[in-house]
Amino acid sequence: MHIFNVINMLFLSILRSDQTTPADFRRVLREMTFNLGYEATTTLQTRPIQLTTPMTQTEGEKLSSSVALIPIMRAGLGMVDPMLELLPMSDVYHIGMYRSKGSLLPVQYYNKLPRDKSADVAYVLDPMIATAGTICAVVNILKKWGAKKIHVVSVLASKKGLETLMSTHPDVTVTVTAIDDVLTEDGMISPGLGDAGNRLYKTPTIDQDDDEKL
């Protein structure tokens, strides 16, 4: 699913600019995530409930599915709060990944998925899908965990990365603002927006722990 949203495209221009400060990067990512989340949640199932208004009794709606937010550290952390505004009842479970400097393969270094419960719907949060290596690895983890439906929410994807994700996991839904054609040899989207984690937190690039490029 590719969501073209005029407001998010304007926001994306701010994220792309190398003149954008970390504070503005965080603010704009938050706004974009809220808009993406609004679109991504339209397929959630509800069940009717009875409630009382100040005037009378009526029928309302309540989610019939359990929902989990899965931010991929680091950059995915910047997307959690706006998703919680939309889905305050959600559980949040963090997964940390980095890319091995030699093999470029994703390596898991942190996992807080509970062993005693899963989720009907899991929203994977990561600003970018470049090679899709990390996303595919996380989807594999979530499937083994028992998530019934997996939905990836991202700001930007490379064409190749999106194709890789959808061919590897055709049952996964993706909501993204834009798709860039170029993926460089070192796994960066071009024109892209740089390293999302570093720009969020104003930290320098460290090759062996550069999970935001995946």
pLDDT digits (tens, 9 = 90+) for 129-182: 999 999 999 999 999 999 999 999 999 999 999 999 999 999 999 999 999 999
Q: How far apart are CA 15 and CA 26, in angstroms?
A: 9
Q: What is the DSSP string of 49-72?
A: EEEE-SS-EEEEEEE-S-EEEEEE
Model-wide pTM > 0.75: yes
Residue 166 CB coordination number (10 Å): 14
Residue 98 · residue 150 · CB < 8 Å: no
| Domains defined along the chain, listed by start | 6-43+63-203 (3.40.50.2020)
